[in-house]
Amino acid sequence: MIIDDRPNWQTLNLAAIQQRLAWLQQQPDGIIFCQDSGVHYVAVTKDRSHIKLSLVEKVNLHTDLLQSVFDFNNPLHLVSEYTQTMLLGLVWQNQPQRIYIAGFGGGRIPLVLHHYLPETVIDCADIDAIAVEAATQCFGVQFDSRLTIAIQDGREYLEQQKLDRQYDIIMTDVFFGNGYFPHSLATKEFYQLCEKRLSRDGVVLVNLLQRDEFYAEKVKTLQSVFSQVCVCPWKDINSVLIGSNSAILEKDEIVARAKYLQDGHQFSFSLIDRASEVKVGKELFEAVPNLEKAQVLYDEAPPVGYFDSWLL
């Protein structure tokens, strides 16, 4: 017999999430949500037990960038490995008091953090109100005093917070349907803003696409602000950058802390596996081609061609 020894609040919280998602099981496969939102459509599709949120470009009605996905049979499981990797922020801050997330999508990371960290406040910002509506209708998200969302530019929101509001973890996961990553969230000035808003030993995590023409520049820019930068690549698709000015962690310590977290929270995925994929030190330069030649990005000097992907 398996004994469920999770705290009662966790059991009740999971039951509430499952209740909010119960209606999805009755829906046929196909599009279950689609609304116009600026330059794209926000579309949610059902494929058996998987629910997927995409931003579909109006020009060609196509996207190759999946925003969020989950399995309603296991709503606390992070299906995408890059989202699992974002939880490595807990390696640096295992009991965060406050987390800030720029970019909401289907709200998968906020929902999971909200469940496992009952004492943590999670502030989020996203410019797309329709995507947030899709998250509340189709992804089981429910806002409360510990999980809030501002319909606002992610950098603007952070700039407007009071100086005494410090975050232990800051995450950015912001893309448009064609894979464009906003320049304003990739510059030295933005990461200096993050550094000012971080608590002591705080950590920043950034989701990037490896196909990004300025991938190396974005890694170099993070290095210009934070003393330790790690990269955790996933196949040839995403990379999660991790930056901190806390004491340098070696690879074995990162893995050991991930094991501690895995044992404590019993995630349905292996945080240990994600930690073992982190590139530090010399491995970082091997994982990021042309990093030594890359230039730092600044607000006032975007490189030639940076905005071309936005125009495609």
pLDDT tens for residues 203-248? 999 999 888 889 999 999 999 999 999 999 988 888 999 999 999 9
Model confidence at 181, in pLDDT bands (50, 70, 90)? confident
Average pLDDT over residues 86-101: 98
What is the pLDDT at residue 2? 43
What is the pLDDT at residue 1? 38
This prediction's pTM: 0.93
For 187-205, the pLDDT digits (tens) are: 999 999 999 999 999 999 9
Model confidence at 39, in pLDDT bands (50, 70, 90)? confident
Identify residue 5 by its one-letter amino acid code: D
What is the pLDDT at residue 63? 59
Contacts of 265 (CB under 8 A, 6+ apart): 116
Q: Provide the strand spans (E) within the chain.
A: 30-37, 40-47, 50-57, 66-71, 98-102, 121-126, 147-151, 167-172, 198-209, 228-234, 238-244
Fold exhibited by the domain 81-311: Rossmann fold (3.40.50)
Average pLDDT over residues 38-43: 86
Q: Taking the domains of the chain in order of start, what are their residue ranges?
A: 81-311
In the numeric block, the tokens 């996207």 are attached to 63
What is the pLDDT at residue 89? 98
Token pair belonging to 179: 């894979």
Model confidence at 28, in pLDDT bands (50, 70, 90)? very high
Nearest-angstrom CA–CA distance, 185 and 153: 10
Distances from the Cα of 256 to the Cα of 90, 117, 202, 207, 253, angstroms: 12, 20, 19, 23, 5
Residue 178 has phi, psi (to 5 degrees) of -90, 5
